[in-house]
Amino acid sequence: MSLLVVLCCVAALLGTAVLGVAAARRPAGRPLVYGASLLLCLLVLAAALDRLLGGGATPALTLPLGLPWIGARFALDPLAAFFLVVVALGGAAASLYGLGYGRHEEAPQRVLPFFPAFLAAMTLVVAAADAFSFLLSWEFMSLASWALVMAHHHEAENRRAGFVYLVMASFGTLSLLLTFGLLAGPGGAYGFAEMRAAAAGGHDVVAALVLALALLGAGSKAGLVPLHVWLPLAHPAAPSHVSGLMSGVMTKVAIYGFLRIVLDLSGGATWWSGIVLLCLGSATAVIGILHALMESDLKRLLAYSTIENVGVIFAGLGLAFAFKADGLGLAAALALTAALFHALNHSLFKSLLFFGAGAVMTATGERDLERLGGLIHRLPVTAVVALAGCLAISALPPLNGFASEWLLFQAVLKSPDLAQWGLKILVPAVGGLLALAAALAAACFVKLYGVGFLGRPRSPAAAGAREVERWMLAAMLGLAALCLAAGLLPGLVIDGLAPVTHSLLGAAMPLQREVPWLSIVPIAESRSSYNGLLVFLFMAISGGLAALAVHRLASRALRRGPAWGCGFPDAVPAGQYSAASFAQPIRRVFGPLLFAAAERVEMPPPGSLAPARFELALTDRVWETLYAPLGRAVGFAADRLNGLQFLTIRRYLSLVFLALVTLLLVLALWS
């Protein structure tokens, strides 16, 4: 029944997309499309929670669509149900936010038709149970999101973002097509059930190829380094509620695809695959957050932060693979639970932060941190929810980001139980890199909040900002409440993830709801435990007592004096910390290696009161060393092959004949 409800909601979302084409230019189009999307996402959420928490088997459905005599197969197992919860939660929040944000959309006719289509496509990817349905839905998801990225295509930077995203999406789909070809084998079994059976006696070479192709296909959509280059281009180009969906939800659908292929269909949880994921995940986390620290563009900063969190999730998956390969079921369940918990958490707080960025842009028309400041007085509700998102993504208790990252570090501490010495040495090093990424993330969001919301306004637009619509505030407040709830009661989330880990690993963490005082004990009480509710109460009581003591016991006598203004008598916004100056110490350490950072300072002559001039140039080394040469090579080859368009008919036929002979020779040698 749950699966049937999900598919009916998908059909209704597609119908809403068609309706959005006709109603986009009408005043009722926005509430109609976003309202229907909100209702349908809530229905999908209820069905997914019923499947995930209710237990029991849900029969697969085969629709008379797709390939002849095969149809389109859909199923809803615990893994799919969990990721449907992520999709539906993110979709509902974005739809609620869109009811207010859509009033300020410049081109609703280019957003409203594709928004529900994007939600339907992500839902279909998660529910698909055969390769054809999965790939068709995956490509539909890519095209719908590309159309949303290109909503403001009149800007050259957005057109470039759409082009890069489309190329990376096509490359990823091709990789996944080859992956399913390997899993299908000579028999050409399209169904996931047949692929599982065929992979039971698979070869290590095939498993390695499947892992590599799945990393290319799903990793490019998730944002793994060095496949991340489209994220900082596409996320700023899309409308803010779409950016929240792409960053908070679509990247999780990519992680679902990776788990479905590698851990479920191919059973490829080997110790060496764990090493690959640990290295890629930790490198992605550090590189992503360092790029975020260097950014002053609000949405590009959040996009790079998504890369960091995806790296954290893949590092957790690498730990789960390594533990499972060594037969350490409880440790593997702990690592996988931490990775899935962090995937859910990231969908919540990253959607919240992108919505906050949209609120700032709506109120000020700016997304450059250097032109913001003082917004805490002008956007008080937005400032509070943005602070909650910054605390959550910085992994500070008692919010949800701390709970999942704490679980991940508990899994890292189980590394001495691994059998391979390489992993015993690698895992603590990965733990150190993840700790570095967590510290840099805290610094990054101190910069975002301090420069963007505190201090004095740096531009007239920031000085004249006013609070945004109630629908936008309601969506942000709801996400902030979920971040707090998941941090205060992480045991409920861990228990909800138990069916997923049991279906993939055959093991699950102990039931946390049986632990007294709503604490979580991932391994044993003698080893570690955490109680988010007690931490919250301690912080509330201690903070309240400190505030009471300051107001009641402090002296009311005032002593006023001039503040030191670095030699300038007037305190002006230009004298505040900027985003670039805040990141300068870290840039001086990592900049030459990762960004080829070049700083240029022009000081005025002695006695002059003219301000100094500072110029900064940063380069993405991955783009310059990998993608730029590749683009030039493709352009060179295309120019040379352009002459084939002007061949005579005889030369065309000769070329086709030679190609046919060559193909027959290759097939003869292969057989």
Per DSSP, the residues of 453-513 read HSSS-SSHHHHT-----HHHHHHHHHHHHHHHHHHH-HHHHHHHHHHHHHHHHS--PPPST
Return the pLDDT at 330: 92
What residues are paired with 601 via a beta bridge?
A: 614
Contacts (Cβ under 8 Å, ≥6 apart) of 154: none
Whole-number pLDDT of residue 260: 93
Intra-chain end-to-end CA distance of the chain, in Å = 48
Asked whether residue 568 carries a pLDDT value surpassing 60, the answer given is no
Mean pLDDT of the region 77-100: 94
DSSP state, 238? S
Task: State the average pLDDT over residues 29-38.
Answer: 90
Answer yes or no: is pLDDT of 56 > 70: no
Percentage above 70 pLDDT, the chain: 95
Residue 630: its pLDDT value, please?
86
Report pLDDT for 86.
96
Q: What is the pLDDT of residues 172-199, one digit of tens each?
A: 999 999 999 888 877 777 888 888 887 6
Q: Let me know the angle formed at the C-alpha of 230 by 179 and 319, rounded to the nearest 5 degrees.
A: 55
Q: Quote the pLDDT of residue 145.
A: 93
Q: Which two tokens stand for residue 370?
A: 């250097």
Q: Residue 569: pLDDT above 60?
A: no
- What pLDDT is stored for residue 641 in this prediction? 81
pLDDT in tens, 495-539: 999 999 998 988 888 888 888 888 888 887 778 889 889 999 999
- Top pLDDT among 65 and 357 is at 357
pLDDT on residue 80: 93
Which DSSP letter does residue 200 get? T
Note the helical H segments in 260-297.
Answer: 271-294
Higher pLDDT, 57 or 31: 31
CB-CB neighbours of 150 under 10 Å: 21
User: For the chain, percent helix, then strand, then coil, each to nearest 5?
Assistant: 75, 5, 25
Q: What is the pLDDT of residues 619-650, one digit of tens each?
A: 778 888 888 888 888 888 888 888 777 778 88
Nearest to 299, CA basis, from 225, 252, 242, 218: 242
Residue 201 has pLDDT above 70, yes or no: no
Contact 7, 61 (CB under 8 A): yes
pLDDT on residue 496: 92
Residue 183 amino acid letter: L
- Per-residue confidence band for 561, with pLDDT thresholds at 50, 70 and 90: low
pLDDT at 567: 59
Give the confidence band of 388 by pLDDT, cuts at 50, 70, 90: very high
What average pLDDT does the structure give for the chain? 88
Note if the bond before 236 is cis, omega within 30 degrees: no
Q: Which residue has the higher pLDDT, 592 or 225?
A: 225
Task: Return the closest-CA partner of residue 303 out of 237, 217, 348.
Answer: 237
Using pLDDT thresholds of 50, 70 and 90, give the confidence band for residue 140: very high
More confident residue, 610 or 486: 486
For residue range 231-273, list pLDDT tens digits in order.
Answer: 999 988 889 999 999 999 999 999 999 999 998 888 767 888 8
Nearest Cα neighbor of 363 from 351, 373, 348, 350 is 373
pLDDT of residue 407: 94
- Which residues, including other chains, have CB under 8 Å from residue 43's CB and lie 6 or more apart? 5, 9
Tell me what pLDDT residue 563 has.
64
Which one-letter amino acid corresponds to residue 135?
L
pLDDT value of position 105: 80
Measure the CA–CA gap between 160 and 635, rounded to whole angstroms: 16
